[in-house]
Structure 1
């Protein structure tokens, strides 16, 4: 049996001391009590441990900041992955090939192997889920001290062979604080927006949502509901999850292979642990036609928000049975029924998500290669990788609905 890692490393900066851990189980109960962060389920031990347990090819690390009284006051989660630049599929593929030809001539650029990227954030979920900072602290100062420590970590842990650091995904209102990264040669660029929908407090059921739509979008919704009427929904539980995992994995991979940008592949077996840990607060249901699974959806309920996670779709039946569109309406219905305030649909498929009422929320990422010249070259590349343009829809009769 592998011995659980204890404290990995300690660093001291001007205002804080920093401890790094390689396992969630190595972080003491006292530290979690000091942080008092687990009401946000993305910083819950069970959530983090479920991800860590089921992704053995990813190296997980956790950084705790302690104040002058040796009380834990901030938590950072990061992972080290192998990333192939070829995994980016979008309108700039021709440009990517040109960049690859250029960097292949640079002897120190790791063209013969994937980039080892240290990701500050959650590799599998869009949003600011990489760090928790207690409310009374100066966030910009904390991020400055964190950056010093993470750079020291990446520079001294030679066995990890880290090539670059990526900090993700920051909303516009956070940029006044996260701009501190740029003082440490991080390059800033935009990624696909988050699609977020506010649930009107006057909606008591799904019919109220339909009534709020303009005629064109209400007709479209009713057509999709009619097309998908043959779908049978089955709630996935820890007890019935096991025998569905093979098909869920197949359907997830169909969606993942169509994505324009993937940092890493998600292990669908994680759902079993998440469902066991969070019960009704982890949404997981499959869609069937006769005896065949044709889709599934997943999501986490936290802080009055339903966050859509991965879905799986049988694309050969998607158009005929409006599977994906039905999933979007089901997310909305569940949020209304549970009196939630927000549905966070995540990235991708921006146009169809905006057609059901979601609006784009810009996200920013910061990237820094350890080698200065390579960092400049990659900055030129990243400037060209812009979010995919889409035609935003405005489906509600009254703009106050949004």
Structure 2
């Protein structure tokens, strides 16, 4: 097995791009932007395994509270196998557990794999925030509403009534992303119980996503950044004025608008992100489990870690709202 390690996106072999064709957050243009806007000692691993099969991994350094999902607190420097932005995608492209373990062994110190969809057998599995996903069989937003049970359509109508004076527009150029919008993002970041990295305003100006702004009069009170890749529509980041949220049902209006945009785009699926699961379940999303794994270079410490991984895990017990008519049973 051959492992090539690169300290800069500019040095990565061309073959990387072919491997990650269907993985937008692993593409070099996205990693390059993160390298510029969120420098965190990122490294890129290009692995050649058996029969010449190719795999890739991204790691970065972070001083992390390893008990992020519990009431305990212990901040230590770790190497994260992941994307250095708060997205639900894993930081690797690999379907061979032996290769994953070899890469972990090649990295010194404490390592954490975040947002994995793989159920590895050699490491104790923990849970991180689940991804909120909705398949989109409808040709327009009206069909989406018609597919709902009456109580959920009533909820939508109530939300729209509360937000009837909201003005919605999409920025023509992302360079127009303002300090005022950035402060709305900071509202969300500082309110979060699960903080990782805080991205600078330059990231929002340069990431290529569409920015949809929600305003009361001339005052922005919320925004969402979204993009479509192949048949998937992604809700990337957002910001909100929490003081006005309840009166105008601002957050739910933003979520419904994302679904409307996703359906209109022709996407077959929308990925709504890893936070506010209960709110998104009320709209008809389902949860896709995401896993974390912890590994140490010290054999003794690694044995101990595997026993305490459940302490690192996110726990949730959410209601299934049976939003759509076909789920009435």
The normalised TM-score by structure 1 is 0.74
1:387 to 310, 315, 320: 315
Q: Could you say what secondary structure the match of 1:269 adopts?
A: helix
Q: CA deviation at 1:379?
A: 4.9
| 1:73 counterpart = 2:54 | yes
Query: Which residue in 2 is equivalent to 1:196?
Result: 133
Query: Which residue in 2 is equivalent to 1:226?
Result: 161
Q: CA deviation at 1:237?
A: 4.1
Task: Point out which structure has higher relative CO (alpha carbons under 8 A, 6+ apart).
Answer: 2
In the alignment, the residues of structure 1 paired with residue 316 and residue 50 of structure 2 have an alpha-carbon distance, to the nearest angstrom, of 46
Q: CA deviation at 1:326?
A: 0.9
In the alignment, the residues of structure 1 paired with residue 161 and residue 307 of structure 2 have an alpha-carbon distance, to the nearest angstrom, of 48
Q: CA deviation at 1:289?
A: 1.0
Unaligned runs of 5+ in 2: none
Q: CA deviation at 1:63?
A: 0.4
In the alignment, the residues of structure 2 paired with residue 122 and residue 240 of structure 1 have an alpha-carbon distance, to the nearest angstrom, of 24
Question: Is contact 2:132-2:274 (8 Å) kept?
Answer: yes
Question: Is contact 1:195-1:361 (8 Å) kept?
Answer: yes
Query: Which residue in 2 is equivalent to 1:9?
Result: none
1:261 to 169, 190, 194: 194
Question: Is contact 2:86-2:197 (8 Å) kept?
Answer: no
Bigger Rg, which one: 1
Q: CA deviation at 1:316?
A: 0.1
In the alignment, the residues of structure 2 paired with residue 36 and residue 377 of structure 1 have an alpha-carbon distance, to the nearest angstrom, of 35
Question: Is contact 2:135-2:268 (8 Å) kept?
Answer: yes
Q: Could you say what secondary structure the match of 2:325 adopts?
A: coil
* Distance change (3 Å), C-alpha of 1:362 and 1:68: closer
Query: Which residue in 2 is equivalent to 1:332?
Result: 259
Query: Which residue in 2 is equivalent to 1:215?
Result: 150
| 1:59 counterpart = 2:41 | yes
2:114 to 168, 171, 175: 168
Q: Could you say what secondary structure the match of 1:46 adopts?
A: helix
- Number of matched residues? 327
In the alignment, the residues of structure 1 paired with residue 105 and residue 308 of structure 2 have an alpha-carbon distance, to the nearest angstrom, of 23
* Distance change (3 Å), C-alpha of 1:61 and 1:205: same
Question: Is contact 2:16-2:46 (8 Å) kept?
Answer: no
Mean alpha-carbon deviation: is it higher for 342-351 or for 121-130?
121-130
Question: Is contact 2:90-2:116 (8 Å) kept?
Answer: no
Q: CA deviation at 1:76?
A: 1.2
- Within 5 Å, which residues of 2 pair with 1:89-100? 92-93=70-71, 96=72
| 1:249 counterpart = 2:182 | yes
In the alignment, the residues of structure 1 paired with residue 308 and residue 53 of structure 2 have an alpha-carbon distance, to the nearest angstrom, of 39
Question: Is contact 1:236-1:284 (8 Å) kept?
Answer: yes
Query: Which residue in 1 is equivalent to 2:28?
Result: 45
Q: CA deviation at 1:262?
A: 2.1
Q: Provide, for residues 161-210 of structure 1, a one-character-per-residue CA deviation record: whole Å limited to 9, x for no partner.
A: x4x11112223xx32xx324x2xxxx32112221111111xx22111111
In the alignment, the residues of structure 2 paired with residue 375 and residue 255 of structure 1 have an alpha-carbon distance, to the nearest angstrom, of 35
Q: CA deviation at 1:261?
A: 1.4
Question: Is contact 1:64-1:72 (8 Å) kept?
Answer: no
Q: CA deviation at 1:397?
A: 1.1
Question: Is contact 1:170-1:363 (8 Å) kept?
Answer: yes
In the alignment, the residues of structure 1 paired with residue 268 and residue 11 of structure 2 have an alpha-carbon distance, to the nearest angstrom, of 35
User: Relative to total residues, which structure has the larger helix share, 1 or 2?
Assistant: 1
Note the aligned Cα RMSD (angstroms): 2.5
Query: Which residue in 1 is equivalent to 2:121?
Result: 179
Q: Could you say what secondary structure the match of 1:118 adopts?
A: strand
| 1:25 counterpart = 2:10 | yes
Question: Is contact 1:66-1:73 (8 Å) kept?
Answer: yes
